[in-house]
Amino acid sequence: MTGTSVDGIDAALIEVEGAGLAMHAGFLKGASAPLGSLGSRLREFASNSPQCAEEVAQMAMTLGKIHAEVLRELLGDAEPDLIVLHGQTVFHRPPLSWQLINPWPVAAQFKAEIIIDLRGADLAAGGQGAPITPLADFILFRNDTRARVILNFGGFINYTFIPDGSNFLRSSSQSNEAWLNEVQGGDISPCNQLLDSIVRKSFGMPYDDGGAIAMQGMVDERAQQSLLRRLKHAESATRSLGTGDEAFEWHDEFKGLLEPADILRTACAAIADRVAGVIAKYGDVDVLAALTKPLRQSMGFNFFQVYFRNHMIPLNLSKHSSQKPSSLTAWLSHITFAHFTHPPL
């Protein structure tokens, strides 16, 4: 899959045993690749820039071919039982959502069943279509004795809250379903969508490597409060975030008034404030941070670690933790493919 940060493609090979909430899943290996020039074209398209039909078709075809290449690298001569293609989100404003990809370059190389359009059914049922990972987070990261908040850092930040299982373990055979009903999730704020845009426009770089630029800046209180008002307003709408929620206009408002490093540091501080607010409402929980290596670099994870005084734990599925988003997508789709039903998000 590719995320809204548009910084590369991740693929994960997983092994699944069982079905429904009783399944067990294991990560086998992963592969990653850059998007090259396609990344900037997709980013421009996702910003609602007008494109002709031929250009859109070409982007979808190129993205499909890149997926096929990465999957072949991942699988070698092996044939999987199921392939899941998320596609590139180029528009998301429920009930509308578009994940661009042409799946046929993949279908031409592999004999497996292929699943695409992971959000459409939930949107049609009245859901938000995002975030799509809470169910998979529950299967993978639930804990008998500790409640957990799992943060997924990308173009936007979303979270999953999983209560501890102490109230469910001794109940009926429906305990997993009852436990799942207590899981909560949602979007928090823009992240790399805003931070990387600031770095591209102000420094001509794709991202702030290691948060070095942000760490040099100073937080401007007035600008921080301005951004927080925007972020809180979007959150109060009780919907998934997407197109139009990136807060680009905030950068435009302050870019002539503050030093670029101060703008970046202020944006990081405001985003961290929103994350801290979500964590605080759940009290004593383990906080697991899920992000790929490019995301760890680009959104200045070092800055966030300092802000939270190192209480944020990088999530390790395995030594190949960079494939976490694609792994969760694959597990979620296996559940869907096995006809496990769940209510709208």
Question: Rounded to the nearest 5°, which phi and psi values hold at 150?
Answer: -110, 120
Report the C-alpha dihedral over residues 100, 104, 110, 112, rounded to 10 degrees: 70
Q: Note whether 115 and 334 are within 8 A (CB).
A: no
Whether residue 138 contacts residue 288, with contact meaning beta carbons closer than 8 Å, is answered with no
- Which helix (H) or strand (E) element contains residue 251? helix 248-254
pTM above 0.95, yes or no: no
Residue type, 92: H
Three-state DSSP class for 183?
Answer: coil
Identify residue 232 by its one-letter amino acid code: K
Q: Which pLDDT score is estimated for 208?
A: 86
| pLDDT value at residue 73 | 94
Q: Answer yes or no: are the C-beta atoms of 71 and 44 closer than 8 Å.
A: no
Cα–Cα distance between 114 and 103 in angstroms, integer?
Answer: 8
Q: Report the C-alpha gap between 326 and 33 in whole angstroms.
A: 13
pLDDT score, position 26: 83
The pLDDT of residue 192: 87
One digit per residue, the tens of pLDDT, for the chain of length 345 reads 888 778 789 899 988 888 888 788 888 889 989 998 999 999 899 988 899 999 999 999 999 999 999 999 999 999 999 999 999 999 998 999 999 999 999 999 999 999 999 888 889 999 888 888 888 889 888 898 999 999 888 888 899 999 999 888 655 557 888 898 999 999 999 988 899 899 999 999 988 887 888 889 999 999 999 999 999 887 766 778 888 889 999 999 999 999 999 999 999 889 988 888 888 899 888 888 776 544 454 444 545 554 554 444 544 443 334 444 554 444 344 433 433 333 333
3-state helix, strand, coil in the chain (%, to 5): 45, 20, 35
Q: Give the E-state strand segments of the chain in sequence order.
A: 9-17, 24-33, 82-84, 88-93, 96-100, 113-115, 148-153, 156-162, 184-190, 286-290, 313-314
CA–CA separation, 186 and 235 (whole Å): 9
Q: Are 317 and 93 in contact (CB under 8 A)?
A: no
Query: Which domains are delineated in the chain?
Result: 9-130+323-337 (3.30.420.40), 134-314 (3.30.420.40)
Asked if residue 7 lies in contact with residue 33, where contact means CB atoms within 8 angstroms, the answer is no
